Structure 1
Amino acid sequence: MDFTPTEEQTAARELAARIFGDLATHERLAAAGSGTDAELWKALCAAGLPGAVEEIGLLGLVLLLEEQGRTTAQVPFAATCAYGVLAVARHGTHAQRARLLPGLRAGTAVATGAFPAQPGVRAEERTGAVGRLTGVVRSVPWLREATQVLVADAGRRLWLVRTDDPGVRRHPVETTAPWAAGRLTLDRAAGDRLGGPGVYEDVLGIVRTAWAALQAGVCAGALARVVAHTTTREQFGRPLSANQGVLLRAADAYMDTEAIRVTAYEAAWRCDQGLDAAPQTLTAAWWAAEAGTRVVHAAQHLHGGIGADVDHPVHRHFLWGRQVAGYVGGGAALLEELGELVTGSPGLDEVSGTVERRAGHESR
């Protein structure tokens, strides 16, 4: 494995860091509310960063999302690149790529996704790759500003759905992080099938890796604020950072952050190399959920009383960290899925049913 970025990936990361650093200031973030910072989004797209993801791959996107997470920049960059640019570029037909990618690259189109597979969403296939979707997805990030949604139905098939379709309704919902989220209601909405067998698993891996990378950046940004606070704030005549308890808590948070980062890098590298990455993407998601929560809690705690101020910048990292952790899935559920994948063993319900069937057969 070689996680060393290419020249193109390094250049893209440096450009992203400069744009996010210049424009994603605390004052602008507070003013944006739950909507997109239009000027920042325009700058990112004018620099060609969404379109560059096609060339620099998932590992390149991971590097860019770390920079977004550091600043908690209020733009649908992660969603558009994961659910839109990469998903369509990898698995779209020629017609789908020609129709969708120009707008996603330019920023005139915004993508999001209803993932993982939604048990309440049913798809009735029509002729060819066209279907009619019915169901409700309770919360979809950036839905209120999206032009298309990548929906995973109960059968793990992927559908591209336009948000302006007559069968699509969007209702605003509040989430922990201000991501312009909404409830998606589908009433025989037209869906354009994306890919075939195995595509769901590949896109799910991309999505999990992307959100883990965003979490790595969120945690790194929170820790940077911890360093700035604890080295300048004094207590009893010395900096807070001189206290052993503070040092140990910060060191644990640093190790957790590095674990999120390196597992996301490994998952992305394997995906780009065309290797099986299912265990690695689950591992990255688990670290993002479990360790990410620990880090943002520690960062808020190490700020003392001001960490409870909802207007303080560190509180925004806390909200984003909690939201990403919940969005990638609970740690226990991810760990169970990883265990079943690694051991090849079925779930408990399936085991129980098999035992009962065998017992009934033997009694006869």
Structure 2
Amino acid sequence: MSFMNNLRPGGRHGLSSRETRDPIGFAVAAVNRLAQSDLIDRVGLRKQAEQAVYSTTRNGFRAATAAGRTFARAGSRTAGERPASAPSSGVFDLTPTEDESMLVDVAQELATEMLRPAASAANESCAAPEEVLAAAQEIGLPGLGVPESLGGIMEERSAMAGTLVAEALAKGDMGLAVAALAPGAVATAIGLWGTDVQQRTYLPAFTGTDVPAAALTIAEPTVLFDPFTLATTALRDGDGFVLDGVKSAVVRGADAELFVVAARLDGTPALFLVESGAEGLEVEADPSMGVRAAGLSRLHLAGVRVGADALLGDTDGAAYTECVRLSRLAWCALAVGTGQAVLNYVTGYVNERQAFGEPISHRQSVAFMVADIAIEVQAMRLVTWKAASRATRGQDFAREVALARQLCTEKGMKIGLDGVQLLGGHGFVKEHPVERWYRDLRAVGLMEGAVMV
């Protein structure tokens, strides 16, 4: 299957409700679309358009969130469907199943045909192209964590499938992978912890043909942020809650129609479903060093009122703790995929690059550095897959995901740095993608939320 042939060129041509309502949103969307158009090359305006995008993303914007669609309440106030855990054979085996292998093949094709070619422009414009997001929807990524009984594509719980897909997509580009996986993180959270009302109200939108932009937002703009010490608060007010605080690293915040917001309730972290049309929500551009294609932003909550049915999961912190761990597992998978991309690229480079009449790979210092990258990527992959395998089977994976995050944080940054070093002066320029991968890999130990498996 070729995604380039199956998708209409240019994606959606109409303006969203937010773009027609808000002039700042219209301006941001306009310059992004202009920068991605072939027309500006034909009329000689590429440099001016790129400068406009740079100025917009550098200076940022702050505006009301998108009005979004209306999610009609449905279902009963009972526990929702829960995906079944995969059976355990009792044998240590990380071989992907047939279904998982098929998913990986499709995700790798998407990464190769669409994510990698679009990555540089998306990095500059801080926005994912519509055709990339449409392709991710076409292969069913938003419903990957939703059980088949609720309209998803998996018969049983499979954190392993999500991990493999995240790794495959990150080989194309981590920022675009995050943008493509973000709606699925929200759908997965609702599938795991939602009530019958929440599942019947929201999940049909994620398993249909018009998937909403959505964001799982845990991080906050504080130094040494700890996800278990939240500054955002949720206070009980009558039969609902009032949310106050600021969330950061919100994927596609200006377009999102639904947020899963982490807030402190009675001293314990909890998750809340917040629709974008809620009064008191405001989104602000927050261009970052890496993962720029995900369109990261800040979400301001000032007295946002939500109903009692907005609480997602329990109030004792168990669901929230699992959410943090599953999110960290997803970031580890993204680190593995990006590290593999660095390894593949530098291997070809050092074999082709000539110095003193021979490839630079003939120098032991170069060959050993490439070998170290290969060892580190494989170590990251194995510990990440082990954590994902235990999560899939419903076993405790706290220790494994902690080890995976520590290893992927340290070795991921080293892989990025070594990749830049191996390219010499070429590692410092945007002609080669390694400098972007280096910036992306530094996010692994900092990001909380956004994606989840």
Question: TM-score scaled to structure 1, two decimals?
Answer: 0.84
The structure that is helix-richer by fraction is: 1
Offset at 1:262? 1.3
Cα distance in 2, alignment partners of residues 218 and 267 from structure 1: 19
Query: Is 1:176 matched up with 2:289?
Result: yes
Partner of 1:160: 273
Matches within 5 A, 1:41-56: 41-54=133-146, 55=154
Offset at 1:213? 0.3
Query: Is 1:194 matched up with 2:286?
Result: no
Cα distance in 2, alignment partners of residues 280 and 80 from structure 1: 26
Cα distance in 1, alignment partners of residues 131 and 442 from structure 2: 26
Partner of 1:110: 213
Match 2:181 to one of 73, 78, 82: 78
Stretch of structure 1 that moved more, 205-214 or 245-254: 245-254
Partner of 1:242: 362
Amino acid in the other structure paired with 1:113 = L
Amino acid in the other structure paired with 1:158 = L
Cα distance in 1, alignment partners of residues 378 and 361 from structure 2: 20
Taking only the aligned residue pairs, the percentage that are identical comes to 25
Cα distance in 2, alignment partners of residues 118 and 34 from structure 1: 29
Matches within 5 A, 1:296-315: 296-315=416-435
Partner of 1:121: 232
Offset at 1:325? 3.1
- Any idea what SS the aligned residue of 1:323 has? coil
Query: Is 1:25 matched up with 2:116?
Result: yes
Cα distance in 2, alignment partners of residues 167 and 21 from structure 1: 41
Deviations 1:100-125 (A, max 9, x none): 22223346212222223462111012
Change (3 A) 1:78 1:47: closer
Moved over 6 A (4+): none
Q: Does the 8 Å contact 1:118/1:153 carry over to 2?
A: no
Query: Is 1:136 matched up with 2:226?
Result: no
The alignment's C-alpha RMSD in Å is 1.9
Greater RCO, CA 8 A, separation 6+: 2
Q: Does the 8 Å contact 1:222/1:317 carry over to 2?
A: yes
Unaligned residue ranges in structure 2 (runs of 5+): 1-91, 147-153, 219-226
Amino acid in the other structure paired with 1:189 = V
Offset at 1:137? 2.1
Q: Does the 8 Å contact 1:288/1:324 carry over to 2?
A: yes
Q: How many residues align?
A: 326
Deviations 1:20-42 (A, max 9, x none): 2111233x222332111211111
Match 1:147 to one of 253, 257, 266: 257
Q: Does the 8 Å contact 1:289/1:328 carry over to 2?
A: no
Q: Does the 8 Å contact 1:133/1:186 carry over to 2?
A: yes
Offset at 1:170? 0.6
Cα distance in 1, alignment partners of residues 228 and 205 from structure 2: 26
Query: Is 1:279 matched up with 2:399?
Result: yes
Q: Does the 8 Å contact 1:175/1:323 carry over to 2?
A: no
Cα distance in 2, alignment partners of residues 313 and 213 from structure 1: 19
Amino acid in the other structure paired with 1:320 = D
Partner of 2:374: 254
Stretch of structure 1 that moved more, 215-224 or 246-255: 246-255
Offset at 1:248? 1.2
Change (3 A) 1:152 1:117: farther
Partner of 1:60: 161
